[in-house]
Amino acid sequence: MTIGHVLTLLLVVPAVGLIPLALFRGDARAAKQVAIVTTFVELLLSLVMLAQFKVGEADFQLVEQADWLPSLGIRYFVGVDGISVLLVPMTTLLTFLSVLYSSGGAIKDRVTAFMASFLILEIGMVGVFISLDLFLFYVMFELMLVPMYLIIGIWGGTRRIYSTLKFVIFTLAGSLVMLVGIVAIWLASGPEGSRTLSLPDLLAIRNRFSAEFQFWVFLAFGLAFAIKLPMFPFHTWLPDAHVEAPTAGSIILAGVLLKAGGYGFLRFALPLFPTGTQLWLPLIIVLSVIAILYGAAVSTVQKDLKKLVAYSSVAHMGFVTLGIFVLNAQGGVGAVLQMLNHAFVTGALFLFVGIQYERTHRRVIADLGGLANHWPLYTTFFGVFVLASLGLPGLSGFVGEFLVLLGTFQFGGVPLGGLFWGPLAAIGVILAAIYLLWMFSRVMYGPARDHYKVLPDLSPIEVACAVPLLVLTVLLGVFPQPAIAIIEPSLDRVLRLATDPTFLVALR
Amino acid sequence: MTDIQNTLYPIAPELIVAITACVVLVVDPLLPRSSARVWLPAITVAGLVAALAAPRFAPVTGLYFGGFVNVDAFTTFFRAVFILLALFGTAVAPAYLFRKQVPEGEYYATVLFSTLGAMTIALSTDLITLFVGLELMTIPVYVLAGIQRRDRFANEAALKYFLLGAFSSALLVYGFAWLFGITGSTRFDEIAKSLQATGIANGPTIIALALITVGLGFKAAVVPFHQWTPDAYEGAPTPATAFMSVAPKAAAFAAILRVLVSGMGPLAVDWSSVFAVLAAVTMTAGNIVALVQTNTKRMLAYSSIAHTGYILAAVAATAAGPSAGAAVLFYVFAYGVMNLGAFACLLYIDLEGTRGATLDELNGFARREPFGALAFAIFLISLTGIPPTIGFVAKFLVIQPVLDAGYAWLAVVLALNAVLAAFYYLRVVVHMYMYDEETGAPLLVSSRLLSLSLGVSALAVVVLGIVPNSIYQWALDAASPVLP
């Protein structure tokens, strides 16, 4: 089935869903139904988009463009390539599952507003992955902010207001600096009247960017992405935001919003500023390895289950930045696979922590225990996701981390080279096994408390949410080749652009 | 007859506003109180709409009244902005004025006279026309600040505003006198020509420049000449605050563009770096002080100082050419809509016994008045500069000439200031949406006219944020006469 303007439709569908939501304002049941239908249609549409994508081509496909601000040369310009084409269905799937789970009773208050926030959020998330004009990208990047701010702030836990403000202020600080960077690129893109912000045009003229310019603009972009990702030491908003966010919010935050940072590096920062990349690369490699080790170490000592999963995200995203910045195909493909894997697995872990919390109202690991005997279904699912998260071969976590490590070992750049950083990062994998298995044993085994014995196992709706994630985790682990085939050509192109010696402006 | 037509038609909008103001004053004592409540705003709105529509029939441009009046794209832009702001300021007022027993006739007449003054600034070609316009705009605003005669805060506000305003006008006129002495003319184009011939700035021109900068800085509330702002805004009745937080500021920037950019343009090298520093200080000081306010009205007052700083940054960047002028005009327009809207949202809770809505009084506002809260949230998000709102486009457009003119540091200061601003703007959203209502919270009042005007402007903020091209093009055209 081919649908024309499929990418634009992907942006329009959630917006259309807002109309019936506004009409049925007072009716929680109708709001849930509208949101489920809308996000499901969006999911189907993204799968159609995936089917229309021609595997093996490196360039952007399904491109659509139109004038937006013609006097400034700003265009509405969307398209997907191998890097983004998988991230879009990932987004729509997680959004659908989040909405489905939240409709099952997790959200009782102001349901319409919650669903409306999710639909606006979905426009922003899909938009980020398909925008090829920097102005459009920035608008979408920021469009994700306000709905998530409301989702954490209204439906979150006890310290929600502190957490949500911290989240917004951190993110905004990064992205506003990026805005200055975007304007600087716009001004550098040519003389008055021929300026542009669309990515292909910018790639054609990027040799105009001097080394000093690239240094500063890469910093401006890098800050925004590093905060979003989050990279050590900009990660401090993440544990707060995750702990206080409602379950659906955590799933989306970990599953999709963090990816916007890694994606931003791959899509814009690397190909546009090859020299800037070289200048900042040593620092980013060091910070990535610190993130892997620090995230893992801090996860080990967490008392709070949700905080543990949150800090493990810091470590997992460290693999993503490491894979991107070792600048070779294995690392890059590994980073994209790790993004997908992290979305499904950590999304699932937050889902299961949420399910558990909703029943026991406990999140402190010491208060839990013995759940395995009463919740066989829950234990099975949760166990598989924990194993995937620690990188067990055969599940999705392994493929990404393995490829990233492979790439890191081959990394020949400064400082110290891959043979130093590779083994250090590998220690992170071992630490992951320690904190995840230890957590699992403390939460699931041991003596059960009496009042947990009456709590029910997974409900059908919860199983329905978990199954797609489980299938994808296994598929991506056993059979990663189709995904790699989609990612690789485009990733090679990005790496060629980022490392092409003819474009590397001479350093002073 | 044709002669009258030819000379009077170009200033038809000004004439209509003047006549409407007089009609309101005359009709006011003749009408019984109950019908005055309906008819006075109706007459005002009708007059303003007529003034907005009048030049559409046969657009004219050129110099009139022996060169004292200049009707160009710049004039047309600011006319429309001032009339729209006055319309908005009128539409949200009736219910409040009745509630607080504010004399209606005087309120509408002063708003109209102030609008007339602002419009006069926009069409000035001459220091004298400009000064007359500036005073005609400011003096009614002093009256607006003190129109609640029995309120001691209003008295303080009016007196403070009046004394500082008179002082700044004196400085300004003294600066004009110096300028006249140096250049031998009061006309902007001849001043520019004469300054061009003199070349670099010397002692007297610097004195003139400094006096004019301070004088206009007072009117626009540039730090350190801003002290009157919070008290005046807080003491004035809320609809008047909404109006006076935007119209005089827009007019002050029209004056700055006419006098400094087009008249003293040849000295731009001298004043632009000073303006860049003033802009940075203004936005930072405004934002930092706004951070610690617990009263929403005061917070918005300080935040309006910060917005002065953003606009001033674009003024400082005139070296970048027309995009700087377009950025100033676009920002003035965007600021006008969103700030007026934000103040007007306070009308829902502005009752006897509350002084301009503390943050706690806003707790649970979203549940009690979902529509008003949504509109308020949209205005605040736009003021913060988050897309897809007009406030974001305005910030984007300001950053661009600032970087182009070589003030990269100012662009970064601006971006970081927007983060500071996000903190206090979003805190209001926190109180509205994330706290539950306290017992004893003030009752809400809503009027259909208020909701309608808020709905229209909130929608405009979002729609124009998504499709800003027409407004930008308009601003670009309008800026060309002052900044070719």
What's the pLDDT tens digit per position in A331-362?
999 999 999 999 999 999 999 998 888 888 88
pLDDT averaged over every residue in chain A: 88
What is the amino acid identity at position A497?
L
If you compute the radius of gyration of chain A from its CA atoms, what whole number of angstroms results? 22
Helices (H), A83-110: 87-101
Q: Which of A268, A11, A36 is nearest to A133 (CA)?
A: A268
Q: Which of B388, B411, B416 sits opposite A139 (nearest CB)?
A: B388
Contact A161 B386 (CB under 8 A): no
Handedness of CA A131, A134, A138, A141 (dihedral sign): positive
- What's the one-letter identity of residue A382? F
Q: Is A64 helix (H, G, I), strand (E, B) or coil?
A: strand
Residue A230: asked if its preceding bond is cis (omega within 30°), the reply is yes
- Residue B442, pLDDT score: 65
Distance from C-alpha of A209 to C-alpha of A184, rounded to nearest angstrom: 10
Q: What local confidence, expressed as pLDDT, does residue A445 receive?
A: 84
Burial of A75 (0-12, 13-18, 19+ CB in 10 A): buried
- Return the pLDDT at A265: 93
Of A142, A165, A184, the CB nearest to B386: A142
Per-residue pLDDT of chain B (484 residues; tens, 9 = 90+): 566 677 788 888 999 999 999 999 999 888 888 888 888 999 999 999 999 988 887 778 888 888 788 888 889 899 999 999 999 889 888 888 888 888 888 999 999 999 999 999 998 888 999 999 999 999 999 998 888 888 888 888 888 889 988 999 999 999 999 989 888 888 888 888 888 887 766 788 888 888 998 999 988 888 888 888 888 888 888 888 889 889 989 999 999 888 888 888 777 777 888 889 999 999 999 999 998 888 888 899 899 999 999 999 999 988 888 888 899 999 999 999 999 999 888 888 765 555 567 787 888 888 888 888 899 999 999 999 898 899 999 999 999 999 988 898 999 999 999 999 998 998 888 888 888 777 666 667 777 888 888 899 999 999 999 999 889 999 988 888 887 6
pLDDT band with cut points at 50, 70 and 90 for residue A1: low
Chain-chain contact of A161 with B416 (C-beta, under 8 angstroms): no
Residues 6 or more apart from A262 whose CB is under 8 A from it? A225, A229, A317, A320, A321, A324, A335, A339
Residues 6+ apart with CB under 8 A from B184: B190, B194
Which chain A positions have a beta carbon within 8 Å of B388's beta carbon? 139, 143
CB-closest option in A143, A173, A184 to B419: A173
Q: Which of A150, A165, A177 is facing B433, going by the closest CB pair?
A: A150
| Total beta-carbon pairs less than 8 A apart between chain A and chain B | 85
Beta bridge partners of B295: B358
Amino acid at B180: F
Tell which A residues from 346 to 385 touch B, by Cβ distance under 8 Å: none
pLDDT of residue B44: 93
B388 touches chain A (CB under 8 A): yes
Q: Does residue A508 have a pLDDT over 50?
A: no
Cα separation, A507 vs A243, whole angstroms: 44
Q: Measure the CA–CA gap between B336 and B85, rounded to whole angstroms.
A: 7
- Do A179 and B403 count as a contact with CB atoms less than 8 A apart? no
- Euclidean distance between CA atoms B124 and B258, whole angstroms: 8
Check pLDDT > 70 for residue A504: no
ipTM above 0.90, yes or no: no
Q: Which residue of A has its CA nearest to B409?
A: A180
Task: Kindly state the helix (H) or strand (E) to which residue A79 belongs, with its residue range.
Answer: strand A74-80
> What average pLDDT score do residues A233-254 get?
90
Amino acid at A290: I
Task: Say which of A70, A142, A179 has its CB closest to residue B469.
Answer: A70
Beta-strand ranges (E) seen in A182-341 are none
End-to-end CA distance of chain A: 54
* B192-to-B128, B175, B266 alpha-carbon distances in Å: 16, 15, 6
Mention every residue, 6+ apart, whose C-beta is less than 8 A from residue A477: A388, A393, A394, A395, A396, A397, A398, A399
Q: Any CB–CB contact under 8 A between A75 and chain B?
A: no
**Would you state the pLDDT for residue B355?**
59
Is A16 in the B-facing interface, judged by CB distances under 8 Å?
no
Residue A184 at interface with chain B, using a CB cutoff of 8 Å = yes
Q: Which residue has the tokens 């951190």?
A: A170
Stretch (H or E) spanning A78: strand A74-80
For testing contact with chain B, the best of A138, A149, A219, A244 (most B CBs within 10 A): A149
Under a CB-based contact definition with an 8 Å cutoff, are residues A267 and A83 in contact? yes
Q: Does A135 touch chain B (CB under 8 A)?
A: yes
pLDDT of residue B97: 85
Q: Please, what is the angle between helix A396-410 and helix A460-478, to 10°?
A: 40
Q: Do B426 and A168 touch (CB under 8 A)?
A: yes
Enter the tokens of residue B94: 């009736």
Q: Which residue has the higher pLDDT, B446 or A399?
A: A399
pLDDT at B354: 57
Q: How far apart are CA B396 and CA A171, in angstroms?
A: 18
How many residues are listed for chain B in this entry?
484
Provide the pLDDT confidence category of residue A96 given band limits of 50, 70 and 90. very high
**Portion of chain A with pLDDT greater than 90, in percent:** 42
CA distance A451 to A360: 9
Is the Cβ pair A179, B399 closer than 8 Å?
A: yes
Taking CA atoms, B472 is separated from A71, A257, B241, B397, B411, in Å, by 8, 32, 27, 9, 20
- Cβ neighbours of A165 (radius 10 Å): 22
Identify all chain B residues contacting A68, using CB atoms and an 8 Å cutoff: 467, 469
For position A319, what pLDDT does the model report? 92
- With a CB cutoff of 8 Å and minimum separation 6, the contacts of A359 are A455, A456
Residues of A in contact with B396 (CB under 8 A): 135, 179, 183
Q: Which three-class secondary structure state does DSSP give residue A206?
A: helix
pLDDT at A318: 92
